[in-house]
Amino acid sequence: MNKVYNSRLILIAATLVILNAAFGIAAQKVEATPPTRAQALASPAAAFAFFQAADENAKIAIRAQLEKNPGSRDGLLLGQSPYVAIVGCSDSRVPYGELLGAKSNDVFTVSLAGNVVSDDAIASIEYAVKYLNVPLVVVLGHDHCGAVSACMTEAEVGGALPQLLGKIRPAIQSATKACVGCDKEALFAACIAANAKLSMDELLNRSAKIRTLVQEGKVGLACGVINLSDASIQWIVTPTTVTPAAK
């Protein structure tokens, strides 16, 4: 009788061990399942988990590329050699390198909300043209720009945002004067274009290094506005039309 009882206890214990192991594996699988893109917005932890999963997928793709073409990324370790430096808006809808069909090491990017030109942005572009010998600098705004819209509507903002919007305000003022009688949509477009032009002018007016290189024909400046719906660029100024006066 005791032997039968003990055998049952052993069987029950073994079953519990197997069930615990199965539940443990299932729990690990649940924990290992990354959140979806929509779930990534729910919390910092979910966003970081999604970021880690995206990073792992990217590494898998790179490893696959290296298996087919070993050493294909070695050139990146030797240094930068971009052909264009872009001052753009940090709006997540505008992936500048992808938009231009660019590859690694093609584009040197400086992104700030409203594609404004701060002291740090100027320093970054100076680094690009002086030390990386980038021959082209492009300021790119985009339609539906939230920073320009906030400045136009004089939205109440806090923190450091008023300082940033203050850099956009001169463009709003000049576009409003030039666009008398324009409807709301046309005025918005004019303000976005004026803001891109203002940022390009800031690079010229506030940086002697950039201005000198442009005067010497070693650097070209341009500015335009990207249409988010079809990724086309409406050029406002091209390098051939930039002729800065000496200062």
For 192, other C-beta atoms within 10 Å of its C-beta total 30
pLDDT at 115: 97
CATH superfamily of 80-241: Carbonic anhydrase (3.40.1050.10)
Torsion of CA 170, 186, 137, 115, to 10 degrees: 60
Q: Give me the percent of the chain exceeding a pLDDT of 70.
A: 83
Q: Which of 25-39, 106-120, 196-210 is the least confident region?
A: 25-39
Average pLDDT estimate for 11-22: 55
Q: Give percent above pLDDT 90 in the chain.
A: 54
The predicted structure's pLDDT at residue 54:
84
Q: What is the pLDDT of residues 64-81, one digit of tens each?
A: 878 888 876 777 677 788
pLDDT at 2: 54
Please indicate whether residue 149 or residue 79 has the higher confidence score (pLDDT). 149
33-74: pLDDT as tens digits: 888 889 988 888 888 898 788 888 888 887 887 888 887 677
- Which residues are CB-neighbours of 90 under 8 A, at least 6 positions away? 111, 112, 113
Q: Name the residue ranges covered by the structural domains of the chain.
A: 80-241
pTM for this one?
0.78
